[in-house]
Amino acid sequence: MQKILDDINELMAANTDRGKVADYIPQLACVDSNQFGITVVLADGQVFSAGSSAQLFSIQSISKVFTLTMALGKIGDALWSNVGREPSGDAFNSIVQLEHEHGKPRNPFINAGAIAVVDAIMMGHQPKETLAEIVQFVRYIANDSSISIDDKVARSEVETGHRNASLAHFMASFGRIKHLVDCVLGTYYHHCSIAMNCEQLAQAGMFLALDGMHQNSTNRVVSAQRARRINSLMLMCGHYDGSGEFAYRVGLPGKSGVGGGILAIAPGKASIAVWSPGLDSVGNSKLGTEALEILVQQTGWSIFGH
Ligand code: GLU
């Protein structure tokens, strides 16, 4: 495994077509696109890394896997009355579909869906309390108490979040947002701004690789059925309107973020985090996807067969 990752890292370092960093969030535009990191945590707990795997980055939409897990824990299937489970086929921040579908977002991973998920988690609490709970949960599943929010990125999102504000208000006009829209949005921006490195992120994904079990205790994070369902949502909806392309090329449940990270799950085998800030045209890490494609070819980990 170490040799596979070292080879991938070398290939990626030589790759000059690295995509473009997200610049609609000014704080993300300053990140150097010449970076690449990868970590694989195997089901037995062995950890392998290469490149800048210890470098913190903004996990952005990958946080939506964790907030979805929390929302299902709190309200279970009631979540699905306000959020769908279908791929969107539209951009992650599109408003068009919302109008056609009466303010019900297609899935929990597009921005509108993730905003509705935050509303479900808040349960009458203040943004600060909700955020503390989200960070606490991420620390627990990653087994790392140092994980925290990058306030600069959060502020940058608050200042430029007109599109997300319009999605949230639009949903509120259909009665689908129960808390004050500004409180929901503030919580959403801050959870997107959690900073993690590949090592922490791969650890955090372990419960999805282990049928819902916490990686180094006998505790269960979610039921096996719920882990399987979250994985299936990641496969179908985890890469915006590039989800089909990711399933075709990589063949693993995965969730990307515009910070350039991808969390991919090989059920029963491994949790993988990869990061490279340059994005393709739909907002997924360009080198991250290429690296996962090679990893899956080398390991035979695709869920669709070897
Ligand atoms: N915080 C970002 C936004 O709301 C998340 C985008 C993403 O990673 O997909 O635009």
- Indicate the domain borders of the chain: 2-60+196-299, 61-194
Q: What is the pLDDT of residue 72?
A: 98
Q: What is the pLDDT of residue 127?
A: 97
Supply the CATH classification number for the domain 2-60+196-299: 3.40.710.10
> In angstroms, rounded to a whole number, what is the distance separating the alpha carbons of residues 208 and 232?
11
Contact 105, 98 (CB under 8 A): yes
For residues 50-63, give the mean pLDDT. Answer: 98
> In ligand 1, which atom is closest to the CA atom of 256?
8
For residues 121-128, give the mean pLDDT. Answer: 97
Q: Is the C-beta atom of 243 inside 6 A of ligand 1?
A: no
pLDDT(89) > 90: no
Q: Is the C-beta atom of 61 inside 6 A of ligand 1?
A: yes
What pLDDT, in 10s, does the model give residues 157-209?
999 999 999 999 999 999 999 999 999 999 999 999 999 999 999 999 999 99
How far, in Å, from the CA of 45 to the mean position of ligand 1?
30
**Residue 182 has which token pair?**
């500004």
Q: Is the C-beta atom of 94 inside 6 A of ligand 1?
A: no
Phi/psi region, residue 227 (left: phi>0; alpha: psi -120 to 50; beta: rest), is alpha
> In ligand 1, which atom is closest to the CA atom of 62?
8
Q: Is the C-beta atom of 118 inside 6 A of ligand 1?
A: no
Q: Is the C-beta atom of 254 inside 6 A of ligand 1?
A: no
Q: Which residue has a Cα nearest atom 2 of ligand 1?
A: 60
CB neighbours of residue 219 within 10 Å: 11
Contact 282, 241 (CB under 8 A): yes
Supply the CATH classification number for the domain 61-194: 3.40.710.10
pLDDT(28) > 90: yes
pLDDT(94) > 90: no
Q: Is 178 exposed, middle or buried (0-12, 13-18, 19+ CB in 10 A)?
A: middle
> In angstroms, rounded to a whole number, what is the distance separating the alpha carbons of residues 111 and 165?
10
Q: Which residues are catalytic?
A: 61, 64, 188, 240, 258
Q: What is the pLDDT of residue 92?
A: 74
Largest CA distance in the chain: 54
Domains 2-60+196-299 and 61-194 share a fold: yes
